[in-house]
Structure 1
Amino acid sequence: MSTDFILPDIGEGIVECEIVEWLVKEGDVIQEDQVVVEVMTDKAVVEIPAKFDGVITKLYYNKGDIANVGQPIFAIDTAGNAVSNAASNATKSAAAEPVTEAKAEAAAVAPVAETKAASANDFILPDIGEGTVECEIVEWRVAEGDKVVEDQVVVEVMTDKAVVEIPAKSDGVVSKLYYNKGDIARVGEPLFALSTGEASTTVAQPTAKQPTAVATEVARSAGGEFEAPQPAVAGKVLASPAVRRRAREQDIDLTTVQGSGKKGRILKEDLTAAPAPAKASTAAASSPAVAPTAGGTRTEPMRGVRAVMARLMTESVQTIPHFTYAEEFDLTELRLMHAKLKAQYAEQGVRLTLMPFFIKAMSLALSEFPIMNAQLNEDATEITYFDDHNIGMAVATKVGLMVPNIKAVQKLSLLEVAAEVARLTASAREGKVAPADMKGGTITISNIGVVGGTVTTPIINKPEAAIVALGKVQTLPRFAEDGTVVGRDIMTASWSGDHRIIDGATIANFNKRWQQFLEDPMQMLTVMR
Structure 2
Amino acid sequence: MVEVKLHDIGEGMTEGNILTYFIKKGDWVEEDQPIVELQTEKMVAELTAPTKGIVKEIFITEGTTIPVGTTILTIESERGSEKNESSEMQQKEYDYSVQLATSDDPETQTKHKKIKGPKRIKAAPYTRKIARELEVDIELVEGSGKDGRITVEDVHQFAQDRESAATKSDSTNKQIHWQSLMEKREFHNNEEANIIPFKGRRKQIAKKMTTSVYTIPHVHHMEEIDMTELLHFRKEIKSDLDVSVAAFFIKALTIVLREHPIFNAKLNEEKEEIRLEKAAHIGIATDTEDGLIVPVIKNADKKSILAIQKEMKELMNKARVDKLSPKEMTGSTFTISNVGPMGSIGATPIINYPEVALMAFHKTKKMPVVTDDDEIIIRSMMNVTLTFDHRVTDGGNAINFTNRFKALLENPKLLLVELS
TM-score higher than 0.5: yes
**Superposition pairs for residues 170-319 of structure 1, below 5 Å?**
179-188=60-69, 189-191=71-73, 193=75, 197-200=83-86, 294-319=190-215
Give the distance between the partners of 2:23 and 2:232, measured in 1 at CA.
Answer: 50
SS in 1 for 2:285: strand
Is residue 2:29 matched to residue 1:138?
A: no
Aligned residue number for residue 98 of structure 2: none
Aligned residue number for residue 151 of structure 2: none
**Superposition pairs for residues 71-150 of structure 1, below 5 Å?**
123-140=4-21
Counterpart of 2:203, as a letter, is A
Deviations 1:315-369 (A, max 9, x none): 21212111111000111111122233333135xxxxx322111111000011111
The Cα of 1:478 is off from its aligned counterpart by 1.6
Counterpart of 1:500, as a letter, is R
Alignment partner of 1:524 out of 400, 415, 420? 415
Deviations 1:400-448 (A, max 9, x none): 1122221111111111111221122112212332222222211111122
Deviations 1:221-275 (A, max 9, x none): xxxxxxxxxxxxxxxxxxxxxxxxxxxxxxxxxxxxxxxxxxxxxxxxxxxxxxx
**Higher alpha-carbon Rg:** 1
Q: Percent identity?
A: 37
User: CA 1:491–1:145 in 2, change beyond 3 Å: closer, same or farther?
Assistant: farther
Deviations 1:157-205 (A, max 9, x none): 2112322233455677878765444223454413475887123478xxx
Counterpart of 2:219, as a letter, is F
Deviations 1:1-20 (A, max 9, x none): xx14x5xxxxxxxxxxxxxx
Kept in 2, the 8 Å contact 1:176–1:194? The answer is: no
SS in 1 for 2:233: helix
The Cα of 1:303 is off from its aligned counterpart by 1.3
Give the distance between the partners of 1:394 and 1:367, measured in 2 at CA.
Answer: 21
**Superposition pairs for residues 462-473 of structure 1, below 5 Å?**
462-473=353-364
Q: What TM-score do you get using the length of structure 1 for normalisation?
A: 0.54
The Cα of 1:498 is off from its aligned counterpart by 0.8
Aligned residue number for residue 478 of structure 1: 369
Q: What TM-score do you get using the length of structure 2 for normalisation?
A: 0.67
Alignment partner of 1:489 out of 380, 390, 393? 380
Give the distance between the partners of 1:335 and 1:411, measured in 2 at CA.
Answer: 24
User: CA 1:416–1:176 in 2, change beyond 3 Å: closer, same or farther?
Assistant: farther
Counterpart of 2:211, as a letter, is E
The Cα of 1:140 is off from its aligned counterpart by 4.3
The Cα of 1:388 is off from its aligned counterpart by 0.6
Counterpart of 1:411, as a letter, is K
RMSD between superposed Cα atoms in Å: 3.1
Give the distance between the partners of 2:198 and 2:74, measured in 1 at CA.
Answer: 25
Counterpart of 2:72, as a letter, is P
Alignment partner of 2:300 out of 395, 405, 409? 409
Aligned residue number for residue 183 of structure 2: none
Aligned residue number for residue 329 of structure 1: 225
Structure 1: runs of 5+ lacking an equivalent = 7-122, 203-291, 347-351
Whichever structure has more helix as a proportion of its residues is 2
Counterpart of 1:502, as a letter, is T
Aligned residue number for residue 46 of structure 2: 165
Kept in 1, the 8 Å contact 2:65–2:199? The answer is: no
Give the distance between the partners of 2:395 and 2:74, measured in 1 at CA.
Answer: 55
Deviations 1:442-488 (A, max 9, x none): 11111221321111111111111111111111111223465443321
User: CA 1:312–1:126 in 2, change beyond 3 Å: closer, same or farther?
Assistant: closer
The Cα of 1:505 is off from its aligned counterpart by 0.8
Alignment partner of 2:315 out of 424, 430, 434? 424
Alignment partner of 2:237 out of 316, 329, 341? 341
Is residue 2:280 matched to residue 1:389?
A: yes
SS in 2 for 1:431: coil
Give the distance between the partners of 1:453 and 1:330, measured in 2 at CA.
Answer: 17
Give the distance between the partners of 2:368 and 2:73, measured in 1 at CA.
Answer: 61
Give the distance between the partners of 1:411 and 1:363, measured in 2 at CA.
Answer: 9
Give the distance between the partners of 2:75 and 2:203, measured in 1 at CA.
Answer: 29
User: CA 1:432–1:180 in 2, change beyond 3 Å: closer, same or farther?
Assistant: farther
Alignment partner of 2:348 out of 449, 452, 457? 457
Q: Which has the higher contact order (CA 8 A, sep 6+)?
A: 2
Matched residues, number: 318
